[in-house]
Amino acid sequence: MHAASPLYEPLNTLKTVAPGLWIVDGPIVRMAALGGSAPFPTRMTVARLADGGLWCHSPIEPDTALFAAIDALGSVRHLVSPNKLHYAYIAAWKQRYPDAVAWASPGVRERAADQKIKVAFDADLGDVSEPVWAGDLDQLHFRGSRAIEEIVFLHRASATLILADLIENFEPAKLGTAMRWIARLGGVLDPDGKTPLDMRFTFRDRARARICLQQIMVWQPRRIILAHGRCYLENAEAELRRAFRWLG
């Protein structure tokens, strides 16, 4: 029998989600999970803006082939850290694309300053869409947690919601025994992916989080891209109601 692989191959390859929107699956990173360390698959999202520039959400560990594929799409203008856990490879992308704007999410500047990997962020993400991409992307600061906040986006033309850690959705067949146990305990096993249990505990202001969720629902998304695990490519509104039922 072959060991389970959490990878979403082919890696570092552009995969079309909708016109002007791609995902790129990357290698494994190890992240803290329920008091331990667990292997997480990685995924970035790339959107082509109306001005032709490329917007890169949660950039993954790059290689020369990926850079070449990205260069064939257009000029990289924006490197986006959606939350303070998703920033590790922005420095590598910034080195390749020095004119791109590195956007900081809430708390990421402080976290990056304490880590070995230093990132020179250029601008901070706000509560509403930045003027440079307001015609292409909706934007929301999802609040309510005392530990981590995430900036979420909607690719307006395709009604695709783009998330990082607010929903994780790991497929059991792709997990080893230990990780399957961790994912089940964390409540992030496919098809019932949701916010990980340890992160849910940090949402002390659930009323505020519910308001944020209601704002996302107003967008009427059709699909959801996730950074970790299987995406929800249909029935997005129903999946959001299911995934955030813990908010009450």
Closest by CA to 29, choosing from 64, 67, 60, 5, is 60
Under 8 Å between Cβ of 35 and 60: no
What pLDDT is attached to residue 1? 35
Which of 173, 190, 202, 185 lies closest to 226, judged by CA? Answer: 190
Domains in the chain (CATH in brackets) are 14-247 (3.60.15.10)
Q: Tell me the C-alpha distance between 24 and 45, whole Å.
A: 6
Q: What does the pLDDT read at residue 35?
A: 54
pLDDT in tens, 81-139: 999 999 999 999 999 999 999 999 999 999 998 877 779 999 999 999 999 999 999 99
From 103, 100, 106, 61, select the one nearest 83 (Cα to Cα). 106
pLDDT digits (tens, 9 = 90+) for 181-238: 989 999 999 999 999 999 999 999 999 999 999 999 999 999 999 999 999 999 999 9
Between CA 224 and CA 13 the distance in angstroms is 19
| More confident of the two residues 241 and 115 | 241
Would you say how long the chain is, in residues?
A: 248
Summarize pLDDT for 31-60 with one digit per residue, the tens: 765 555 678 899 999 999 999 999 999 999
